[in-house]
A and B are shown apart, each in its own frame.
Chain A
Amino acid sequence: MSQHSIEHLYRDHHSWLHRWLRSRLGCDHSAADVAHDTYIKVLTGSIPQDDQPRRYLTRIAKSLVIDLFRRRQIEQVYIETIQQLPEHYAPSTETQHIVIETLLEIDHMLQSLPDNVRQAFLMRKLDGHSYQVIADTLEVSLSSVEKYVAKALTACYLYQLDMN
């Protein structure tokens, strides 16, 4: 998109987008952030354009709203987790930040998968459970567990492909 048309897009629709987001998020600060990020996405040109500017902007903004929600959720659950750790195990702020980013990425990679598939993969990869334990937990056959894990691996691979 040309510099000129981005200026137009900003001038004509930025305050509208900000209001649109505020009415949904109920928070002026988050609305301003998401509106800002929306224009960053426009600038990087990663989203196919639309002849209707507001539809184009809301499509990007909606996806960012959901990302923001996931991030908040992950932060909240992770903070609760580390609060239960003994004090001398408490990870540094930097580690916390890296972990949250990694969890967010994993969540993204697996989000389109059915619950059983995601669960089987995480139990194998993060908990280190055997296929037998997973099969018993999910009440499915051993061969299903192997299929689930394969399916999740493919999804992660394709996700990374999309990202690069």
Chain B
Amino acid sequence: MSHSATPTRKTIELASAWMARLWSESVTDEDRDACKHWRQQDPEHEQAWQALVTMAERFDTLPEHASNSALLTQIHQQGRRQFLQWLGIFVSSAGLGYGINKTDLIQQTLADYSTSVGETRTIQLADGSELKLNTNTAIDVIFNGKDRLIKLHQGELFITTGHAASFRGQPFQVATRQGVIEALGTRFNVLQQEDITTVGVIEDTVLVHTQHQRIPLQAGQQLRFSDKHIDSTLALEPSKTSWIQRKLVAEQMKLSQFLTELSRYRRGILRCDEAVADLRISGVFPLDNTDKAIQQMAQALPVTLHTRTRYWLTVVANKE
């Protein structure tokens, strides 16, 4: 018997067909003879046959209590929903397709996009939706034929939902750690910070599902919520979506908040002395050049910049 080459696909399929024939309760002596004859025709046939026999014996090693198709079928059918839940992804009440195919899962369930600090990125999805990812953002995109779900792990996302015909009737949802935002044909912005989600709506309506409440949000409104608390609905601040134009819009913004905003877009430490923290700043600042933004701020306010290292910048009061 030669082991030099791997049997061809065709030979493997034929060996499988013979074995399936022999496993039948209606197998005849003629079948057995014909199978034996086939094996003797070519060493490659015999090699494939022997490998198949060895493989099939693996199944016989299971003890009786585990040799039960229901056990494996049960595992299989728990499927995708459980996988998503296991990953901590919110699953809406609409049923998700059963069947867990590893390749599909990798490509669909864990299709992820991310940006690093200072980077932005635009993604077109299969349904025609457009996602803009702001700095330091990570998302998973889950399209499974029934739902369209974006899991926002961190950072900020601007969504323009698409309306491709083949996706009609599939809810479009963005899940954060604090809740789920369901789009009703719309443009909106979602920011995930440590314990807080902030949603701003530009067009149409979204429905915010928190643990205990459902809150509709109209165009021109914004809402901040944590696990414990839901703020009142406010008018949308222009600064909330100006990142899309790569600008930071400040209107009488506290210096401390201005620096917190800017530090989302640059590496390292950016802070200020308490003495200047409450100074107010207004203006439009470039987000793709934070050095320049800081210089502009320093010219407008009575402050000095202290650079300890390249990654550590402190804003202090001007010396009298």
Q: Give A contacts to B, CB under 8 Å.
A: 20, 23-26, 58-59, 62-63, 65-66, 69-70, 72-74, 77-78, 81-82, 85, 89, 91, 95, 98-99, 102-103, 105-107, 110-112, 115, 118-119, 122-127, 130-132, 142, 146-147, 149-151, 153-154, 156-158, 160-161
Q: Is the CB of B86 within 8 A of A147?
A: no
**A115 vs B55: C-alpha distance in the bound complex, in angstroms?**
21
Q: Is the CB of A153 within 8 A of B52?
A: yes
Q: Is the CB of B66 within 8 A of A157?
A: no
A-B pairs, top 9 by smallest CB distance, nearest first, are A122-B69, A153-B16, A150-B20, A149-B20, A154-B16, A26-B88, A150-B16, A130-B25, A150-B17
- Known contacts A24-B88, A66-B102, A127-B69; 7 additional CB pairs below 8 A are A23-B154, A103-B66, A103-B72, A103-B75, A127-B68, A131-B25, A157-B48
> Would you give 26 A-B contacts (Cβ < 8 Å), ordered by A?
A23-B154, A73-B78, A77-B74, A81-B66, A81-B71, A82-B65, A91-B65, A99-B66, A102-B61, A102-B66, A103-B72, A105-B58, A106-B58, A123-B69, A125-B59, A126-B59, A126-B62, A146-B20, A147-B20, A150-B17, A153-B55, A153-B56, A157-B48, A157-B51, A158-B9, A158-B12
Chain B neighbourhood of A105, CB < 8 A = 58
Query: Which residues 153-180 in B have Cβ within 8 Å of A in the complex?
Result: 153-154
Q: Does B105 contact A (CB under 8 A)?
A: yes
Chain A neighbourhood of B13, CB < 8 A = 150, 154
Query: Which residues 86-108 in B have Cβ within 8 Å of A in the complex?
Result: 86-88, 99-103, 105-106
A112 → chain B closest CB, angstroms: 6
Total count of chain B residues near the partner, CB < 8 A: 54
Q: Give B contacts to A, CB under 8 Å.
A: 6, 9, 12-13, 15-17, 19-21, 23-26, 48, 51-52, 55-56, 58-59, 61-63, 65-69, 71-76, 78, 82-83, 86-88, 99-103, 105-106, 110, 112, 138, 140, 153-154
**A106 vs B75: C-alpha distance in the bound complex, in angstroms?**
12
Chain A neighbourhood of B154, CB < 8 A = 23
B261 → chain A closest CB, angstroms: 23
Question: Which residue, of A106, A125, A157, has the highest number of chain B Cβ atoms within 10 A?
Answer: A157
Q: Is the CB of B73 within 8 A of A66?
A: no
